[in-house]
Structure 1
Amino acid sequence: MITWRVGVVEQVGTSWQGATELSVALDQPWADPTLPARVKALAYPALVGEIAPGRRVWLNVSALARGLGTGGYALVIAPADGQPVEPAPSAGHLVKARYTPLQAMVLGVDDQESEHHDTMRDADDLEGLPVVVADLHSALPAIVAGVRLEAARLGRPTPRVAYVMTDGGALPAWFSRAVAGLRDAGWVSTCITAGQAFGGDLEAVSVHTALLAARHVAGADLAVVVQGPGNLGTGTRWGFSGVAAGEAVNAAAVLGGRPVASLRVSGADPRERHLGISHHSLTAYGRVALCPADVVVPLLDPADEALGPLGARVREQAASLVAPAGRHRLVEVEAGDALRRALATSPVRLSTMGRGLDQDPAAFLAAGAAGVHAATLV
């Protein structure tokens, strides 16, 4: 189940919060001669220590060997020539990635040893906190761009945005360059990792406690809940990690928040099930979400040769989710040039399924529209 390799670190490359790129020369060649003898690897120093050139390392190359979407990385498991420096003693007994060889013990915001335990013990109400829920990690910067655009238009202070990262994709928040870049730019104030995900500014046992921490510990004005990078899908009705988007709507609603459903939309995906509104959104919001949410439908430019027909398709598909056919509330948001310009100001690269803003604008306009609406609820 794990394809292992050992190699020597030749070069230390780019670093961002929690992660470092390495170039590693492999000892053992691949069975497939077309695969490279030198690989790009990713190390998380908090787990494996600082890795310098010349060190030998164990690598997990399973996904790389299969050509799966890990960003083209081998993943450093541990040094092969000695153990990392012993971590300093610390509080906390929350174990993330439990019972895996790299399980990590962290201090949870809801942990008995946390300074926030008293607050979290009695917390039970989000007090109307707007909570934007999305399927793909790539929606995050677009949602925040929409939030900032609408706050500026209304003449209001820029909302403090907390990102709640669920565990349907990457488990380490450190894997996401988008999160690092958004935090550095001040677009996201706090990253909270929930469930088996870890590495955020705050750690939480569940999406419920992550949302409560966003409101009562981080002081967020608005929360965005979406999985980390690496959406998993199988081409089946229920076999995709985005099912959790519906569960996040339920969590936000039962805690007294205001759930806002961001639709996964595409005009460029060649797969029929993802064209217009993806079946992921239709299933998660139509079948899994049992509490009403604001479903934001972007009003795409009808005069645009490509976006006009797509917008009509999206509105038709959304009808199954909203009253009177569905349980949710329809919210239509203009998704024109102003929003597109705001998306272009993102401090991190906009990319979904390998496509950028120019290749699939509807994907980002739909997410940005959800952010625009959420900002009106702050």
Structure 2
Amino acid sequence: MMHWRVGTVAAVEQSWGRAVQYAVDLDSPDQAPGPRVRALGYADLVGVLGAGDRVLLTTSALERGLGTGGLAFVVAAPDRLPPDPPAGPGHIVKARYTPQQQIVLAVDEQESPHHGALSSGPAADGDLAGLPVLVADVHSALAPILVGVRSLAPRARVVHLYTDGGALPAAFSMTLARLAELGWLTATGTVGQAFGGDFEAVMLHSGLLAAKYVFGADLVVVVQGPGNVGTGTPYGFTGLAAGEALNAVHVLGGRGFGALRISAADARERHHGISHHSRTAYGRVVLGEASLIVPHLPGEFGALVAQQAGDLAAGARGQVTLISEPVDGLLEALGACPIPLSSMGRGLDADEEYFLAQAAAGRAVARTLGPADTR
């Protein structure tokens, strides 16, 4: 159900990439000053607004106090609509049949200059030719994974595929905006219903093939957008798609690797050590071949993680193997990361095991690329 509100922009609070956060004063029935809310506007959808602009908002998640989607969102500034986009190619519709559906040029559609490369040769055969693909289940894994990759292969061509389990607009991600500034990614592709990346793809499978045959990726990292949804049930969480992503990699002849979601700080038993999200996605959903990166952590907690990983592999439905990766030097590398690190509201100091696990996964997969001085 939608909660609709009308208000006036009071100020621009912050921006990143093409996303802008505003302070908006809501109208009140008695014309007295109403409450002030944080509202997010995507410049590509609603234009760039300023103080005094009247805006139409949706506030449903904000009204419910939800973490996922818990902002007001600018639907339109009726008195200052952005101009129509220039005519151009592209007919793929994303966020389909919603009021803000997007018409994009997908890398794999007929009007794309890359259609030929993806409709013939090895791409048409669905052959990734052993391309390494690292999958993680929450968006906060992306930056620490890249820290690990860059510790061995700073010149590797890394393509990120942003899947649609979380925020559909890639512009929502502060991490992606900062990564673009740093030049740590060759490209980000938005797949499925997600939109706004450097390139669009209709499906994860075609996004993987484009990463190799259009963008020349040495390594692909597949992670959903911000806003992972979970219900506390074994299969009711969007990170489950990590298992399906590894199935896609297997079908296409890539080398699939999984980053484990690990925490020593999460008070919930189902997330202590290796999260049930990883145990279910990799142990119950993966049906082909995949390798899981197990960080070699010290002490009793490290022993717990090793035991859980062994149990996961032993009971997996697919052909799951384990790769142990030391964490030496990774804490220092994470501490020097120019991108703020945060997962579930916890930073590096509060949950270093989580970030070490992601960085270890990145470094382990980077080892498959050869010596750093050749990248």
Task: Report if TM-score (shorter chain) is over 0.5.
Answer: yes
Match in the other structure for 1:144? 146
3-state SS of the aligned residue for 1:260?
strand
Match in the other structure for 1:240? 237
CA contact 1:264–1:277 (8 Å) conserved in 2? yes
After the TM superposition, which residues 180-195 of structure 1 pair with which residues of structure 2 at under 5 Å, given as runs? 180-195=177-192
Match in the other structure for 1:26? 26
Matched residue type, 2:263: S
Q: TM-score, normalised on structure 2?
A: 0.93
CA contact 2:17–2:177 (8 Å) conserved in 1? yes
3-state SS of the aligned residue for 1:369?
helix
Residue 222 of structure 1, CA deviation: 0.6
Match in the other structure for 2:6? 6
Post-superposition CA distance 1:258-317 (Å, at most 9, x none)? 1111000011111000000000100000011111111110001x2xxxxx2211111111
Matched residue type, 2:67: G
CA contact 2:149–2:363 (8 Å) conserved in 1? yes
CA contact 1:319–1:325 (8 Å) conserved in 2? no
After the TM superposition, which residues 214-229 of structure 1 pair with which residues of structure 2 at under 5 Å, given as runs? 214-229=211-226
Q: 1:128 is matched with which residue: 120, 127, 130?
A: 130
Match in the other structure for 2:164? 167
> What is the distance in 1 between the residues matched to 2:168 and 2:362?
25
3-state SS of the aligned residue for 2:227?
coil
1:314 aligns with 2:305: yes
Matched residue type, 1:135: D
Match in the other structure for 2:323? 331
> What is the distance in 2 between the residues matched to 1:49 and 1:82?
8
Match in the other structure for 1:17? 17
> What is the distance in 2 between the residues matched to 1:158 and 1:311?
31
Residue 82 of structure 1, CA deviation: 4.9
Match in the other structure for 2:339? 348
Residue 323 of structure 1, CA deviation: 5.2
Residue 150 of structure 1, CA deviation: 2.3
After the TM superposition, which residues 197-276 of structure 1 pair with which residues of structure 2 at under 5 Å, given as runs? 197-276=194-273
Match in the other structure for 1:93? 91
Match in the other structure for 1:46? 44
**Structure 1 segments of 4+ aligned residues over 3 angstroms from their partners:** 323-326
Q: 1:177 is matched with which residue: 174, 177, 190?
A: 174
Residue 211 of structure 1, CA deviation: 0.8
Residue 51 of structure 1, CA deviation: 1.6
> What is the distance in 1 between the residues matched to 2:183 and 2:219?
14
> What is the distance in 2 between the residues matched to 1:57 and 1:234?
33
Relative to structure 1, the CA distance from residue 324 to residue 65 in structure 2 (aligned partners, 3 Å threshold; closer, same or farther) is closer
For the aligned residues, what is the CA RMSD? 1.5
Relative to structure 1, the CA distance from residue 233 to residue 325 in structure 2 (aligned partners, 3 Å threshold; closer, same or farther) is closer
Q: TM-score, normalised on structure 1?
A: 0.92
> What is the distance in 2 between the residues matched to 1:347 and 1:125?
36
Residue 322 of structure 1, CA deviation: 2.4
3-state SS of the aligned residue for 1:213?
helix
Match in the other structure for 2:349? 358
Mind listing any 5+ residue stretches in structure 2 that lack a counterpart?
Answer: 370-375
Mind listing any 5+ residue stretches in structure 1 that lack a counterpart?
Answer: 30-35, 152-156, 303-307
Aligned-pair identity (%): 56
Post-superposition CA distance 1:140-166 (Å, at most 9, x none)? 001110011122xxxxx5211111000
> What is the distance in 2 between the residues matched to 1:22 and 1:100?
23
CA contact 1:286–1:320 (8 Å) conserved in 2? no
Residue 70 of structure 1, CA deviation: 4.3
3-state SS of the aligned residue for 2:97?
coil
> What is the distance in 2 between the residues matched to 1:167 and 1:324?
28
Match in the other structure for 1:33? none
3-state SS of the aligned residue for 1:313?
helix
CA contact 2:21–2:41 (8 Å) conserved in 1? yes
> What is the distance in 2 between the residues matched to 1:87 and 1:51?
17
Relative to structure 1, the CA distance from residue 127 to residue 28 in structure 2 (aligned partners, 3 Å threshold; closer, same or farther) is farther
Matched residue type, 1:118: G
Match in the other structure for 1:84? 82
